């Protein structure tokens, strides 16, 4: 009897261990959602910070070049359709190009180029959310056209019509593999108070979402 009591006093009984594990399980269940929320908020902050950095870089680039279109090899602003960073003629690649790079031929608008305007941009490493990110500059729709999930119209004031002037070029990010929940987190930061319904929030403001392809588009600049 004495030996049995000694073992019991120096260790946990099965019932006590089950009780401890139950308490730990309850604590994990309570804390885990909060941990995930903190991680999600951190990713939102990373994406929003990157967007601001990209916008500032494009503003500086425009101040020198007079266009937000990327320069082609001849130093002429031209539309490049992929927006992929590995394409040297994409805007993202041009913004990170050093002024002394051999790609800078020195002709036409290259003479005004003072890059790099951006430290880095990689389509394979989107900040915050998604699997891939692209920086595009394309023609916008006619002013007042309804913005859709896939067009280049952006509705800044939430009235249901695009505020991009007719014939303007618009720079934007297209991010793949973004969940609806993650889009809503980003939208709640970038587009506070814009859109009363879920569908309106997906189409209006600086951030748009295509539920058919899980792609998010974020406005950067237009000129």
pLDDT digits (tens, 9 = 90+) for 25-77: 776 666 555 555 656 688 999 999 999 999 999 999 999 999 999 999 999 99
Output the DSSP codes for 84-101. -TTSTTSHHHHHH--TTS
Query: In this prediction, what percent of the chain has a pLDDT beyond 70?
Result: 87
Query: In this prediction, what percent of the chain has a pLDDT beyond 90?
Result: 77
Phi, psi of 135 (to 5 degrees): -110, 115
| DSSP classification of residue 114 | -
Q: Quote the CA–CA distance of 163 and 166 in Å, as a whole number.
A: 9
Structure tokens at 148: 């859709």
> What is the rounded (10 degree) CA torsion for 88, 92, 98, 99?
90
In DSSP terms, 133 is beta-bridged to 175
Residue 1: its pLDDT value, please?
46
Sheet holding 207-210, edge to edge: 133-139, 169-175, 215-222, 207-210
Residues of the chain with pLDDT under 70: 1-12, 27-40
> What does pTM read for this prediction?
0.84
Residue 10: its pLDDT value, please?
55
Tell whether omega for the bond before 116 is within 30 degrees of 0, i.e. cis. yes
């Amino acid at each position: 009897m004495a030996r049995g009591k000694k073992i019991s006093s120096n260790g946990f009984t099965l019932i006590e261990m089950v009780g401890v594990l139950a308490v730990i399980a309850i604590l994990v269940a309570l804390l885990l959602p909060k941990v995930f929320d903190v991680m999600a908020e951190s990713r939102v902050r990373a994406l929003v910070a990157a967007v601001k950095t990209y916008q500032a870089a494009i503003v500086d680039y425009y101040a020198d070049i007079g266009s937000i279109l990327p320069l082609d090899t001849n130093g002429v602003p031209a539309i490049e359709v992929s927006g992929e960073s590995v394409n040297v003629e994409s805007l993202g690649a041009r913004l990170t190009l050093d002024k002394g790079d051999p790609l800078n031929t020195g002709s036409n608008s290259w003479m005004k180029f003072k890059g790099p305007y951006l430290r880095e941009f990689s389509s394979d490493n989107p900040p915050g959310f998604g699997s891939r990110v692209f920086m595009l500059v394309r023609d916008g729709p006619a002013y007042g056209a309804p913005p859709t999930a896939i067009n280049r119209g952006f509705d800044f004031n939430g009235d249901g019509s695009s505020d991009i002037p007719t014939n303007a070029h618009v720079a934007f990010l297209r991010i793949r593999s973004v969940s609806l929940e993650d889009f809503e987190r980003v939208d709640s930061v970038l587009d506070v108070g814009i859109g009363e319904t879920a569908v309106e929030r997906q189409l209006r403001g600086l951030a748009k979402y295509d539920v058919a392809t899980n792609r998010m588009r974020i406005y950067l600049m237009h000129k």
